[in-house]
Amino acid sequence: MNISDVPMASVTDLPADRLSLLDVREHDEWAAGHAPEALHIPLRDLPAQLDELAKLPDDQPLYVICRTGGRSAQAAAWLNANGWDAVNVAGGMKSWHTEGRPLVSDREGAAPEVL
């Protein structure tokens, strides 16, 4: 599947509950700020960690997110080519934060931010 053929959804179109969200950013980006319910697998590790996706419900699309949408589009294209129902989140975590969706940090004492 070509990246231009990947299904896309805006943050405002995402379900408010029961959201299967895969964050493919790097570890430092994740630690700075991420969606509380997201599963984190960096893009480069995705092929080796597909078994981690079994933790997510399989009766709904898998929304894939990164900082602005480029890496997540690559991941969604790869996932769709390998049998998943993946959707790229347009605008990534930057849009997530702008839309006021919840954001948490793994850095002790630091406010969550999108790197």
SS3 9: strand
Place of tokens 């570890």: 27
Mean pLDDT of the chain: 92
Say which amino acid occupies 98: T
Cut 0.95: pTM above it:
no
* pLDDT one-digit tens code per residue, 16-48: 788 899 999 999 999 999 999 999 999 999 999
**Residue 1's pLDDT band (boundaries 50, 70, 90)?**
low
Catalytic residue status for 32: no
Question: Where are the domains positioned within the chain?
Answer: 3-98
Catalytic residue (one of 11, 41, 43, 66): 66
Pick the CATH number of 3-98 from 3.40.190.10, 3.40.250.10, 3.30.70.370, 2.70.98.60: 3.40.250.10
